[in-house]
A and B are shown apart, each in its own frame.
Chain A
């Protein structure tokens, strides 16, 4: 196992506003890390920084041994955005073809990868339907398929399970675990606790700071509670108390 993502002493923000501070993070290959936290906590900003869309204000981010930002390295990252960024006038296959080509896949590779990626999200029968006729859940699944199509070393999924029914969610998690056993690294953000419990590692972000980090079992034990949700609530209260003392 080698380290896929390493974040040290990261401070990030827009202009003068600081969104994230003192973030330290390390993910090994084959691990699934879930970033949990309320909306506006800075999860998407952290994800953007790890992908290299934003330059760190302070601190350092390395992905697969390379300092970010690094445009070339984006070919090894499969990204699923929070909003469904799809070309609605095109069919699902055309979307997959286009984004695959952007990732640097050849037409031959695409021919192999598209059925696989569509299969994971159960879209193989709707590949030649235009996206504008898709339901919200189907669009979400297509976004995930686009992230999977290039068979990337690192998957970054921003809220991947929103709008996906429980049955398919189970199926997707199975696939994610399978990918992880093959050595792929997965970083996802969520505010659904069921998702958090499935991850190998958790990082709880609140008000731009990491309030708890570790495996779900470790955290439950350390906080003397019985669920991940309770860990999050307790860690949040502790953060508020600490802030009051300062």
Chain B
């Protein structure tokens, strides 16, 4: 009964505050749309390479969709050319020595140039090998013909063993998850879905309870026979509902606007995000104990929220330094994002995400306990 009254009050207050309401529901969509466009077209980056005295065969081998070749006057200094013309790099050949000077203000452009140069060298080497093979094959053939003529055995001439049979492979790629059009956005979306719910619930619920502390309503509330757990439960149900609506909004937006295919069940996504919201809520309420003002609450974002983004799977955990990897295991968002990715990209079912959900539940219970303890400060029974 009291839990319902608190739940009703949380909703009433939220609906009166139209701006916060809009922030909770519109901001995630704005952020996701931005990310969608930012990570869409990362494949058609082109760079400009200046070449000076470089063998034309090599230049032809380097030339591909990502590199534009510009001839550089033979006397110009590579560094000066890069500065003046803003080339990503200049390749200089002196007899058989190649020197590549890179601008390196954009590492991805440097990488493209290095790759293209390497690919060109391999291409040239294989070409050279093929020519040698061809020549050897021709020599062999001549030898065989001569031999055949000598022995008068026509079968030998047909022996294909010496033919320059360079196998040409045709590559077909199959994708277990996603398709050829998958971009980094597909990896990012499930993580961001979990993150926005976590972030907004953390911040808004934390500030809401902080306001209750500073205006004295929390103390006033505890001067009634309400149980501490009833207060927390009222908040849980209220903000759980917001997380639910937020998740549905993001999921449908992703399906209809981004045309993202969600392989798993939407119910599982809702379960994950509601649990994640519970963790965010209980953490937000707990953290708000240590803040004396809204501004101090915001100061906790770089400490509590931002590190979670880094460990949520945006950077693959197994690519991190070994000593860093265990840190991910204490980040609630890591488990939430992992479960989200598995459901959206791999179609994981409830059993598959059971472990992640259990851990999230554990976090929620832990923070819940801490909240009960800190509320004791206001009323000792």
Contact residues of A with B, CB < 8 Å? 51-55, 69-75, 77, 79, 81, 83-90, 94, 97-99, 101-104, 130
Contact = CB atoms under 8 A, between A and B. Distances in A.
B217 interface: yes
B378 A99 contact: no
B226 A89 contact: no
Given A53-B379, A54-B380, A85 B5 contact: no
Contact of B378 (A53, A73, A104, A130): A53
A99 B12 contact: no
Contacts of A69: 379-381
Contact of B216 (A70, A83, A89): A83
Given A81-B216, A101-B1, A72 B225 contact: yes
A236 to B, nearest CB: 30
B5 A102 contact: yes
A85 B13 contact: no
Contact of A102 (B13, B221, B379): B221
A55 B223 contact: no
Interface of B: 1-2, 5, 8-9, 12-13, 16-17, 215-217, 219-227, 378-381
B225 A71 contact: yes
A80 to B, nearest CB: 9
Given A71-B225, A98-B5, 20 more contacts: A55-B380, A71-B379, A74-B225, A75-B224, A79-B223, A81-B223, A83-B215, A84-B216, A85-B217, A86-B217, A87-B9, A87-B13, A87-B217, A89-B16, A89-B17, A90-B9, A98-B8, A102-B225, A103-B224, A130-B16
A90 B12 contact: yes
Given A69-B380, A101-B2, A74 B223 contact: yes
A83 B372 CA distance: 24
B220 A94 contact: no
Contacts, number: 82
A99 B224 contact: yes
A74 B226 CA distance: 9
A115 to B, nearest CB: 20
A71 B381 contact: yes
A99 B224 CA distance: 8
Contacts of B222: 53
A73 B5 CA distance: 20
B219 A102 contact: no
A130 B13 CA distance: 11
A102 B12 contact: no
Contacts of B2: 101-102, 104
Contacts of A72: 225
Contacts of A52: 379-381
A85 B220 contact: yes
B225 A103 contact: yes
Contacts of B216: 81, 83-85
A197 B220 CA distance: 28
Contacts of B224: 74-75, 99, 102-104
A53 B223 contact: yes
A52 B381 CA distance: 8
Given A55-B380, A104-B225, A85 B219 contact: yes
B213 to A, nearest CB: 10
27 contacts: A53-B379, A71-B227, A72-B225, A74-B223, A74-B224, A79-B220, A79-B223, A81-B216, A83-B216, A84-B216, A85-B215, A85-B221, A87-B217, A89-B12, A89-B13, A89-B17, A98-B5, A98-B8, A99-B220, A101-B1, A102-B221, A102-B224, A102-B225, A102-B226, A103-B224, A104-B2, A130-B16
Contacts of B220: 79, 81, 85, 99
B215 A70 contact: no
Given A53-B222, A79-B220, A70 B381 contact: yes
Nearest to A101: B5
B64 to A, nearest CB: 61
A85 B222 CA distance: 12
